[in-house]
């Protein structure tokens, strides 16, 4: 934690620069380098971004889970800063995951949305963490907000493994299972992961830094009032 706090500005800058380089490279790998999938054709290319976005969405919510446990264990606000940052970035990615999934589904399934088990559980996941963020905005006291939000964050994370394993739990789903990839497709997917990861890291670090600055401004205002 201390290393991240001391080097947050430098790490954020590096992540932004890496993202600016990797995103166009990943796009080129997805649309120009990877071969066209034999059955789904061109719409399948969104896979190289949809899958990394989905997995990093889980990572964001896992950060909320860890931050919530950390706060309940130590009562230190630094854990709450990470928890809310993970939730906000996770919700953003959950929205992008849903939108890219719909763009993929329309030409392949013939519908923007179906009540497939994975889609349904993912929508529930998005709703739960959106409610988590709304709930935080309703509690003015910082310590009380962190305490209640931590409990909600821990409970809310239970839906993440349910989303991930929904295809295996409900065989009636039409969501595709893990595919066998051509080697060039695997390379394109790795570049997609790299690009999305650095954007995720940059966004998360910016949100954490904002949380600390927001708290510092609040303390200064309180000092002026006194």
In a domain, 3, yes or no: no
Which CATH number belongs to the domain containing residue 218 in this structure? 1.20.120
In a domain, 18, yes or no: yes
In a domain, 162, yes or no: yes
pTM over 0.85: yes
| Residues sharing a CB contact under 8 Å with residue 22, sequence separation 6 or more, in sequence order | 191, 194, 195, 198
**Per-residue b/e over 116-129, b at no fewer than 16 CB within 10 Å?**
bbbbbbbeebbebb
* pLDDT confidence of residue 36: 87
In a domain, 1, yes or no: no
In a domain, 62, yes or no: yes
Q: What distance, in Å, lies between the first and last C-alpha atoms of the chain?
A: 32
In a domain, 106, yes or no: yes
**The domain containing residue 126 runs over which residues?**
9-225
* pLDDT confidence of residue 104: 85
Residue corresponding to tokens 């299972």: 177
pLDDT along the chain (226 residues), means of 10: 62 84 92 86 88 94 96 93 95 94 84 81 91 89 90 91 72 64 89 94 90 77 65
Instruction: Provide the token pair at 125.
Output: 């996941």
Half-sphere exposure of 80 (CA within 13 A, CB side): 24
* pLDDT confidence of residue 8: 64
Name the DSSP class of 32. Answer: I
Q: Count the domains in the chain.
A: 1
In a domain, 98, yes or no: yes
């Amino acid at each position: 934690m201390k290393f991240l706090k001391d080097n947050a500005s430098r790490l954020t800058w590096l992540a932004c620069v890496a993202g600016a380089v990797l995103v166009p490279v990943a796009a080129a790998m997805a649309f120009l380098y990877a071969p066209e999938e034999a059955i789904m054709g061109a719409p399948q290319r969104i896979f190289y971004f949809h899958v990394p976005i989905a997995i990093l969405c889980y990572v964001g919510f896992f950060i909320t889970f860890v931050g919530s446990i950390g706060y309940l264990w130590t009562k230190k606000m630094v854990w709450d800063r990470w928890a809310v940052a993970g939730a906000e970035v996770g919700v953003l990615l959950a929205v992008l995951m849903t939108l890219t999934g719909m763009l993929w589904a329309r030409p392949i399934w013939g519908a923007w949305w179906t009540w497939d088990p994975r889609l349904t559980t993912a929508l529930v996941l998005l709703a739960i963490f959106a409610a988590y963020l709304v709930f935080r905005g309703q509690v003015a006291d910082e310590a009380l907000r962190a305490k209640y939000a931590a409990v909600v964050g821990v409970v809310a994370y239970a839906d993440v493994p349910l989303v991930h394993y929904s295809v295996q739990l409900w065989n009636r789903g039409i969501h595709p299972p893990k595919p066998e990839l051509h080697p060039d497709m695997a390379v394109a997917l790795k570049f997609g992961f790299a690009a999305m990861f650095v954007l995720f890291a940059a966004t998360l670090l910016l949100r954490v830094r904002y949380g600390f600055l927001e708290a510092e401004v609040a303390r200064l205002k309180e000092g002026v009032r006194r």
